[in-house]
Amino acid sequence: MNGLCSRQRHDSSIENLLPGVTVADRLKYRLMPSRLRLSVLLLLFSLPSLVHSQDFTGQVVGITDGDSIHVMHNGRAEKVRLHGIDCPEKGQPFGRRAKQATSDLAFGQKVTIHNTGKDKYGRTVATVVLPSGKNLNHELVKGGWCWWFKKYSPSDNELEGFEQAAREAKKGLWVDPQPVPPWEYRKIKRRAKKSSPSASHARTSEKRISTAIIGNRDSHLYYRPHCPSYGQVAQDNRVEFASETDAEAAGYHRAWNCP
């Protein structure tokens, strides 16, 4: 009898730790075999810790591009994709500047990662909070370096507002009246890859432009035909000039490694 009373008191004290549980649920719990009750309790108490264990704090040790960083977690650099935003790709205009903006804000900083899941590449998708308490995702859109990624964050009114304000103020990439969104750029690249010409045709095309001065829209540098980086400017980021005079008149400067 004393054992039964003791068990009832024990069950009652545990139930009091579970706010919001209905009377019917408490009755079902009491009728469960003791081993099953224990399993239920372990599951209930482990759920909050599982949720919170996804968030972590770590130092930013790498910047892949504007919306992808590496953060130290459990002794390794974890790939983190910023949630709800999409920055220009490396080959796009403003791609390097977006990367630099992220680096200026976050590199070397101890940030808090609020995990929202994994993407198809296995990267952690997250909102990143800086030591100042500012939201890195928001700051990049405010500065005009990234788009609101509506596809993956359709109801984020804050990001929508930040993008609109940056557009109107012509901040960052919005100085370009018709910038190409990175998701469209990636789509174009995939199509081009599927219908790419043969290597011999590509070489012929290179010969046709071998006398042109090539400018990089992102860096505003230009390259002579014999410059080491002449053929490395991405096609979508390339502009041609008839002469160095024309390039300099358009605001471009000769690359430092050109002879």
Catalytic center residues: 81, 89, 123
Secondary structure class of 173 (helix, strand, coil) = helix
Task: List the one residue out of 11, 13, 19, 12 whose CA is nearest residue 37.
Answer: 11
Closest CA to 171 of 142, 137, 131: 142
State the Cα–Cα distance between residues 79 and 113, nearest whole angstrom. 11
Contact between 238 and 216 (Cβ < 8 Å): yes
Distance (Å, rounded) from C-alpha 50 to C-alpha 126?
16
What are the tokens at 102?
A: 């992220």
CA distance 256 to 259: 8
Alpha helices in the chain (DSSP H): 2-15, 23-31, 34-53, 95-106, 136-142, 157-169, 182-194, 199-208, 244-249
